[in-house]
Amino acid sequence: MQASALRLLVATNVRLARAFLQWQQEQVADRSGLHRTYIGGIERGERNITIDNIERLAHAFGIPAWHLLNQDFNPKTLFSDASTGR
């Protein structure tokens, strides 16, 4: 079965956020309370993620959950210099 467009959008946005913050999957897992392999499955579009877990990921990134569902997701506009350590 092929992943839905929305699942792939979430996968891309999670991957973009993590890459922008320069976090490893383990860091996202620790901050969200999800397993590292589950994070990898989300980023590959293999997991049919629940709304609750989208919310957990968004909380880990410090952003509102709807951003992970946004086609115009841009981590540069969401994350301040303080949160990235830059």
Stretch 45-60: mean pLDDT: 97
pLDDT-derived band at 81 (thresholds 50, 70, 90) equals: low
Q: How far apart are CA 81 and CA 76, in angstroms?
A: 9
The per-residue pLDDT for range 8-39, each reduced to its tens digit, is 999 999 999 999 999 999 999 999 999 999 99
How many Cα atoms sit within 13 Å of 19 on the Cβ side?
Answer: 10
